[in-house]
Amino acid sequence: MACGLPKPTVKPVWSREHIPAPPKVPLAGPPPSFTIFNFTTSVADISLDSINQIKGLYMAETGQRSSSFDVVTAMIFKCFARAIDLAPEADIRMGFAASTRHLLHGVLPSVEGYYGNCVYPMFITKTRQEISKASLVKVMSVIKDEKAALSTKYEDWMYGRNKLYQNVALDYETLAVSDWTKLGFNDVDFGWGQPKYVFPLNDDLDIIATAIYLKPPVPKTGIRLILRCVKEEHSAVFFDELSKLAVFSHESLDAALI
């Protein structure tokens, strides 16, 4: 419409009432308390060659394809497990929001035009030792298995057969990753062409470790990571471990924005 069209090229659809949802369970007990962590903010650009090399390794060992998300998430989860100072048997968690739009064909009038949030939270819980000692291929398989369970978990939740994750601890043992590379932000024409770079400002999120995946500024390729997942005292170990898994460049957020 900004280009002068009389209406959107894709008809917008809300129709949220068509999406089944179980009754909301009232929260019991006192409100949650949060710990503020002094996360360090860093930027790392993972090279496309490194990503493709690991995809090839995964194919050679398993006979299956893998995505860039699988590769990069396994890298981060493994580095996170090795960097944080916890007992080997301590549980660590990694969560991500998985799109469920493709599961709503036949439920919504138009899946393509639905403009509401359409995701389900997925969580992997393993001991620190399980992830830190596993091969990168094994960690990728753990991630792929969780992704493969999406349709079953989402359907079970919609029809009340299981509960949504309500008690996942927001602490230093929990890492949340978010992939922005396919959201379309970089494809929007703002009137002067597509943006060279899109990035978040999330320096105020200090209660949970995060990693956000972006497209790097053109003409770079690969994946840019905005990392707030370890404290300063664990940052050197994190990036030392990452250097064992991929070719990357590392700089502060301020330097990356210049």
What is the C-alpha separation between 230 and 99, in angstroms, rounded? 27
**Res. 252 pLDDT band, cuts 50 70 90:** low
What fold does the segment set 47-257 form as a domain?
Answer: Chloramphenicol Acetyltransferase (3.30.559)
pLDDT digits (tens, 9 = 90+) for 5-51: 888 888 898 998 888 877 776 666 677 778 999 999 999 999 999 99
Residue 257 has pLDDT above 60, yes or no: no
Ordered alpha helix ranges (H), the chain: 48-62, 68-83, 128-133, 136-148, 150-158, 232-243, 253-257
* Domain residue extents for the chain: 47-257
Look up residue 65 and give its DSSP letter: -
Whole-angstrom Cα distance, residue 52 to residue 226?
21
Residue 27 confidence (pLDDT): 67
Q: Report the pLDDT averaged over residues 153-177.
A: 82
Residue 255 has pLDDT above 60, yes or no: no
Distance, C-alpha 173 to centroid of its chain: 16
Q: Is the distance from CB of 152 to CB of 77 less than 8 angstroms?
A: no
Cα–Cα distance measured from residue 14 to residue 41, given in angstroms and rounded to the nearest whole number? 37
Judged against a pLDDT cut of 90, whether residue 110 lies above it is answered with no
Whole-angstrom Cα distance, residue 97 to residue 119? 6
128-151 pLDDT tens trace:
999 999 999 999 999 999 999 999
3-state SS, residue 59 = helix
Calculate mean pLDDT across residues 69-81: 98
**Residue with more model confidence, 188 or 221:** 221
Q: Which residue has the higher pLDDT, 239 or 190?
A: 239
Q: Which residues does residue 124 pair with via DSSP β-bridges, in sequence order?
A: 94
Closest by CA position to 78, among listed 35, 118, 130: 130
Residue 74 CA to residue 77 CA, distance in Å, equals 5
